[in-house]
Structure 1
Amino acid sequence: MTTPLEILRTTFGFPAFRGVQAQVIDRVMAGKRTAAIMPTGAGKSLCYQLPALALPGTCVVVSPLI
């Protein structure tokens, strides 16, 4: 299985995770319920995009923004 860090580097082109991204992604990948409250620009989108690529099935994202 490809690791999240490998996906980060090969697919997204970033050398390393920022802030709590790795912790959030690890929880999501482990199937744990996760709420990530992070400031603008902290990389929240990557926290669902990367697991969506790594895990089988379909990813549904619900965004309350209008």
Structure 2
Amino acid sequence: MTPKEILFNYWNFPEFKTPQEDIIQSVLNKKDTLAILPTGGGKSLCFQIPAIMFDGLTLVISPLIALMKDQVQNLQSKGISTTYITNEIDQNTIGKILDDCQNNKIKLLYVSPERLQ
């Protein structure tokens, strides 16, 4: 599927906001990409859509746990295999999450900075 098809299929939006499409294309071209957009500018789609298109796992590092949980819940509601690891998660659950990541069962893994270790 193309980025626009994914945008419509999962989010029901017919078009990207400026400059989302250029940012996504840069990521898909595997270029280092820095995108600075205002609140509500659609930053998340700029990594979520390539994550859906690429093979393997996409790691998302976010210090905002409430936003992380909201995005994970939203993606899961769309059938996209997504989860998160924060300090609230016990070691047994983290072990299962990491096993799922290794077995290609998770597409996006959100991690709080303090959990990177």
SS in 2 for 1:37: coil
In 2, Cα distance between the equivalents of 1:52 and 1:14? 18
- Computed over aligned residues only, the root mean square deviation of the Cα atoms, in angstroms, reads 1.2
In 1, Cα distance between the equivalents of 2:64 and 2:32? 21
Post-superposition Cα deviations, 1:36-65, rounded to whole Å, max 9, x if no partner, equal 000000000110111111111100012244
Q: Which amino acid aligns with 1:28?
A: V
Gaps in structure 1 of 5+ consecutive residues: none
Tell me if 1:44 matches 2:43. Answer: yes
Q: Which of the pair is proportionally richer in helix?
A: 2
SS in 2 for 1:60: strand
User: What TM-score, normalized to structure 1?
Assistant: 0.90
Q: Which residue of 1 aligns with 2:6?
A: 7
Gaps in structure 2 of 5+ consecutive residues: 66-117
Q: Which of the pair is proportionally richer in strand?
A: 2
* 4+ aligned runs moved over 6 Å, structure 1: none
Q: Which residue of 2 aligns with 1:20?
A: 19
SS in 2 for 1:11: helix
Tell me if 1:35 matches 2:34. Answer: yes
Q: Once the two structures are aligned, what percentage of the paired residues are identical?
A: 49
Q: Which amino acid aligns with 1:22?
A: E
Aligned length: 65
SS in 2 for 1:40: coil
In 1, Cα distance between the equivalents of 2:62 and 2:50? 17
Larger Rg: 2
